């Protein structure tokens, strides 16, 4: 078996040599389909040279017989145009990702001049090849027979062991988290590959548990779509990220997936770009929502916020916006400029000529048309003045006047003409400008505030509506008004989608109206989220049912479930399942941990703030030599910030992190639970998971689940006095004491 390693090493050396000698080039297909190439082929080859391929498969088909195909992050060809390495995004690569022993017959789909064709092949063997620094370390071989002795790991020592997912396990066990999303091309799993290769013509919802790789899958999916669709480019796809922190975390992944130049934006920033400077929006962050509404159990304000994101509110908006459009047409007023006029009926006819446009564009074209109409009439009147002036001058010249008198009259007539022309122009500008001002459609903010006036009318005067609307403050716009305002913008501004495809991450925290607005902006979307991490409660998505059944009613939509977590150890996932089962046992399925054991989860009772500080310091001293990235997660921002200040007295690399910050490598991050979504760390401390911080309710079950699943390798939970009931059965309860640092508990 050692010969297999040597043979593979020779082949690897030969490919690298041919790249160095310019014998091998980037595959033709990659060149043709690259949407926005910012690096040349030489750079691409230089980047892949140390690891030009990650796998091989030998397949048999009736058309081509037996073939061995190498797969890599980029396609490589020789000068005869033969593919030496196949790009992972090509259709045939799906066979590699989907094959397991016992399932040798595999299908893949190719596009033949716009017609989809199914190809069937038999997989004879598959090899996952681990290469590091131009050296073949191991080969994981799988053959068609499920129980064959040939299924195993081949190393340079010739040792063979039967194994499943050996490459993935070794990467997870040996790797330190950088805090950045990673490229997973070599280790894409079957269920992940299915998600990546879904058609661009359908909406895709990826419901994935914490650590299932769903964010990485989304970016790999976008790379796949761009590679396989020549009409796509960086201008007509968009990534909507949950935070600036997340955007920073994906920056190193984009070049390797050929996604450089793709716009990444938070929803807040996207909306503010569209609304521009006309709308002043009150700063509103997660801290205010969680601490003033959810943690304070302000039910009525929570209902008001939920209402502003609901399907019901969207339908009221639709009704209101359609009324605005009808009222605008009916309100078109007669215009008279210097005796020239257009009747209401004539104006409505002009307005209807632009009915193929969106409302705002229709109104803009209509107003321009009317303005140009009267400008043309004005020009004609000026021309008539000029002609009259010429007639008078001709008459005068035959009247026997002296040259001096002719000149004087000519100057006088020119002055009269100019004055008359100025009067015509001034009256035109005054009358038309006044009319245009009166006929300008209402602004987005005006429309929005008119809606609440409408909702306060007798038609809606129910006790339930009045209870909801008591929180409305005229003229004040906050975070939860952004989605409705954006919906108004796209409803009235866009007559066709701007984007071909949008990817939305952490989408479980988006309201119904978020999706309604984005649906008008794009042809299709990939929605990534985990409803068990839906911490905005009434505002976000507890299930995807309403989105699919109502919003995507007549469109093809695929929901893919990712139930396996690759991030955290079995020990961490057991705790995560326990927390969620305490509240939702009959409504959920357990997260399936990848086969990877780690350190037992630590539970530490403290009585005082001083004791908490000291035990965290001891933990950090122990972990600093073991782990690169460590996080301390507290329930809220106030306590997280206070704890970080205390710890800065003992560690120089402590950083308090918010959603707008960049979490530096090799730092100890202190972060609030609700700000930690989407992040991962080698080891995590939960600062105080006691019964007061995390009571046994839906919100706190989700917050604690989010917090514990940030840990990749080790988790330690501290609690003051009695632990949260969400941890009942895992630890015992004890008594209390007090100290001067209790404000960090």
Binding residues: 208-215
Q: What whole-number distance in Å separates Cα of residue 318 and Cα of residue 477? A: 20
390: how many CB neighbours lie within 10 A of its CB?
11
Residue among 137, 166, 98 at smallest CA distance from 594: 166
388, 449 contact by CB (below 8 A): no
User: 311 in helix, strand or coil?
Assistant: helix
DSSP, res 374: H
696, 681 contact by CB (below 8 A): no
DSSP, res 79: T
Sign, CA dihedral 594-595-598-603, equals positive
Q: What is the token pair recorded at 642?
A: 């206070």
720, 730 contact by CB (below 8 A): no
* Rg of the chain over all Cα atoms, to the nearest angstrom: 34
Q: Which residues contact 156 (CB under 8 A, 6 or more apart)?
A: 2, 5, 136, 137, 138
User: 208 in helix, strand or coil?
Assistant: strand
Q: What angle do CA 738, 744, 745 make, to 5 degrees?
A: 60
Q: What is the token pair recorded at 376?
A: 């043309």
Q: What is the token pair recorded at 487?
A: 């919906």
Sign, CA dihedral 426-428-429-434, equals positive
Residue among 697, 692, 11 at smallest CA distance from 294: 697
727, 698 contact by CB (below 8 A): no
Known binding-site positions for ATP: 208-215
Q: What is the token pair recorded at 697?
A: 């309710």
**Centroid of chain to Cα 116:** 29
Q: What whole-number distance in Å separates Cα of residue 151 and Cα of residue 386? A: 96
Q: Which residues contact 657 (CB under 8 A, 6 or more apart)?
A: 245, 663, 669, 670, 671, 675
Residue among 719, 713, 735, 556 at smallest CA distance from 626: 713
Q: Which residues contact 211 (CB under 8 A, 6 or more apart)?
A: 565, 566, 567, 568, 573, 680, 709
Q: Give the long-range contacts of residues 652-659, CB within 8 A, separation 24 or more.
A: 657/245, 658/245, 659/242, 659/243, 659/244, 659/245, 659/285, 659/286
Distance from first CA to last CA of the chain, Å, rounded?
58
Q: What is the token pair recorded at 243?
A: 């935070």
366, 351 contact by CB (below 8 A): yes
- The burial of 56, by beta-carbon neighbours within 10 Å (0-12 exposed, 13-18 middle, 19 or more buried), is given as buried
Residue among 547, 552, 598 at smallest CA distance from 575: 598
If residue 28 lies in a helix (H) or strand (E), which one and from where to where?
Answer: helix 28-33
User: 61 in helix, strand or coil?
Assistant: strand
Question: In the chain, what's the furthest Cα-to-Cα distance?
Answer: 123
59, 126 contact by CB (below 8 A): no
């Amino acid at each position: 078996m050692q010969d297999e390693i040597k043979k593979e090493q020779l082949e690897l050396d030969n490919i690298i040599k041919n790249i160095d000698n310019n014998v091998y080039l980037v595959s033709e297909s990659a060149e043709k389909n690259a949407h926005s190439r910012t690096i040349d082929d030489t750079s691409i080859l230089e980047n892949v040279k140390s690891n030009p391929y990650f796998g091989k498969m030998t397949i048999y088909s009736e058309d081509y017989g037996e073939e061995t195909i190498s797969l890599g992050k980029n396609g490589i060809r020789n000068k005869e145009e033969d593919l030496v390495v196949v790009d992972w995004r090509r259709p045939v690569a799906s066979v590699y990702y989907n094959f397991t022993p016992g399932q040798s017959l595999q299908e893949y789909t190719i596009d033949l001049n716009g017609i989809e064709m199914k190809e069937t092949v038999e997989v004879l063997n598959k090899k996952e090849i681990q290469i590091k620094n131009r050296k073949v370390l191991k080969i994981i071989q799988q053959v068609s027979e499920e129980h064959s002795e040939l299924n195993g790991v081949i190393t340079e020592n010739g040792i063979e062991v039967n194994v499943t997912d050996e490459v993935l396990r070794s990467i997870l066990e040996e790797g330190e988290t950088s805090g950045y999303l990673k490229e997973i091309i070599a280790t894409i799993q079957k269920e992940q590959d299915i998600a990546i290769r879904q058609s661009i013509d359908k909406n895709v919802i990826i419901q994935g548990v914490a650590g299932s790789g769903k964010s990485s899958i989304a970016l790999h999916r976008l790379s796949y779509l761009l590679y396989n669709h020549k009409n796509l480019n960086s201008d007509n796809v968009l990534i909507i990220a949950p935070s600036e922190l997340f955007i920073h975390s994906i920056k190193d992944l984009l070049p390797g997936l050929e996604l450089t130049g793709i716009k990444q934006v938070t929803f807040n920033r996207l909306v503010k770009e569209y609304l521009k400077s006309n709308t002043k929006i009150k700063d509103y962050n997660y801290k205010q929502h969680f601490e003033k509404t959810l943690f304070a159990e302000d039910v009525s304000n929570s209902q008001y916020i939920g209402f502003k994101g609901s399907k019901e509110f969207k339908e009221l908006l639709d009704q209101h916006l359609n009324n605005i459009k009808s009222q605008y047409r009916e309100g078109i007023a007669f215009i008279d400029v210097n005796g020239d006029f257009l009747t209401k009926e004539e104006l409505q006819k002009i307005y209807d000529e632009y009915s193929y446009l969106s409302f705002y564009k229709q109104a803009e074209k209509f107003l321009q048309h009317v303005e140009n109409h009267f400008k043309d009439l004005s020009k004609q009147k000026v021309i008539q003045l000029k002609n009259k002036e010429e007639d008078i001058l001709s008459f005068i010249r035959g009247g026997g006047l002296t040259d001096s008198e002719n000149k004087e009259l000519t100057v006088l007539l020119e002055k009269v003409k100019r004055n008359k022309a100025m009067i015509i122009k001034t009256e035109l500008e005054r009358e038309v400008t006044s009319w245009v001002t009166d006929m300008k459609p209402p602004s987005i903010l005006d429309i929005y505030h008119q809606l609440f006036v409408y909702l306060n009318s007798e038609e809606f005067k129910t006790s339930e509506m009045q209870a909801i609307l008591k929180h409305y403050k005229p003229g004040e716009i906050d975070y939860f008004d952004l989605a409705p305002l954006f919906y108004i913008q796209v409803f009235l501004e866009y007559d066709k989608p701007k984007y071909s495809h949008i990817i939305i991450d952490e989408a479980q925290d988006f309201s119904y109206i978020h999706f309604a607005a984005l649906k008008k902006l794009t042809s299709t979307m990939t929605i990534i989220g985990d409803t068990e991490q839906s911490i905005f409660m009434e505002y976000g998505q507890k299930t995807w049912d309403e989105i699919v059944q109502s919003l995507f009613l007549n469109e093809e939509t695929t929901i893919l479930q990712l139930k396996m977590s690759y991030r955290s150890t079995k020990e961490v996932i057991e705790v995560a399942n326990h927390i969620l089962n305490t509240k939702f046992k009959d409504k959920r399925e357990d997260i399936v941990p990848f086969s990877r054991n780690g350190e037992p989860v630590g539970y530490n009772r403290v009585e005082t703030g001083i004791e908490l500080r000291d035990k965290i310091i001891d933990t950090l001293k122990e972990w600093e030599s073991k782990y690169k990235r460590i996080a301390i997660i507290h329930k809220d921002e106030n306590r997280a910030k206070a704890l970080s200040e205390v710890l800065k007295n003992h560690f120089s690399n402590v950083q308090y992190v918010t959603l707008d910050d960049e979490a530096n490598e090799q730092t100890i991050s202190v972060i609030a639970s609700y700000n930690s979504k989407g992040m991962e760390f080698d080891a995590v401390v939960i600062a105080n998971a006691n019964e007061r911080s995390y009571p046994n309710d839906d919100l706190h079950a989700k917050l604690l689940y989010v917090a514990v699943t940030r840990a990749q390798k080790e988790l330690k939970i501290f609690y003051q006095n009695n632990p949260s009931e969400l941890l009942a059965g895992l630890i015992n309860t004890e008594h209390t004491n007090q100290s001067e640092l209790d404000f960090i508990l």
